Amino acid sequence: MSGVVFSLPESEYSMPWVNYHTHCHYCDGKAELEAYLIKAIEKGFPACGFSSHAPLPFATTWNMKQESLQDYVAEISRLKEKYRDIIQVYLGLEVDYIDESWSSRNALFGKHSLDYYIGSIHFVDAFPDGTHWSIDGSPDLFFSGFEKIFKNNTQKLVKRYYQLIMEMIENDHPTIIGHLDKIKMHNRHQFFLNEQENWYHACVEDALDLIAYKECIVEINTRSIYRHNQDDLYPGEWILKRIYSKNIPVIINSDAHLTGEIDSGFTHAAAVLKRIGFKTIMVLWNNQWRECAYSVTGIEEKAFSINKWSR
Contact set with Zn ion (CB under 5 A): 94, 120, 255
- In angstroms, the Cα distances linking 300 to 146, 229, 294, 309 are 44, 30, 5, 14
CA dist., res. 172 & res. 170, Å (int) = 6
Q: In angstroms, what is the minimal distance from the CB of 95 to Zn ion?
A: 10
Q: In angstroms, what is the minimal distance from the CB of 62 to Zn ion?
A: 9
Q: Which is nearer to Zn ion, 181 or 255 (CB)?
A: 255
Q: In angstroms, what is the minimal distance from the CB of 114 to Zn ion?
A: 15
Q: Which is nearer to Zn ion, 109 or 244 (CB)?
A: 109
Q: What is the CA radius of gyration of the chain?
A: 20
Give the residue from 197, 299, 310 showing the smallest Cα distance to 250.
299
Q: In angstroms, what is the minimal distance from the CB of 136 to Zn ion?
A: 7
Q: Which is nearer to Zn ion, 120 or 222 (CB)?
A: 120
Q: Which is nearer to Zn ion, 23 or 39 (CB)?
A: 23
Q: In angstroms, what is the minimal distance from the CB of 179 to Zn ion?
A: 6
Q: Which is nearer to Zn ion, 172 or 255 (CB)?
A: 255
How many other β-carbons are positioned within 10 Å of the β-carbon of residue 86?
Answer: 12
Give the residue from 228, 229, 156 showing the smallest Cα distance to 193.
156
Q: Are 299 and 102 in contact (CB under 8 A)?
A: no
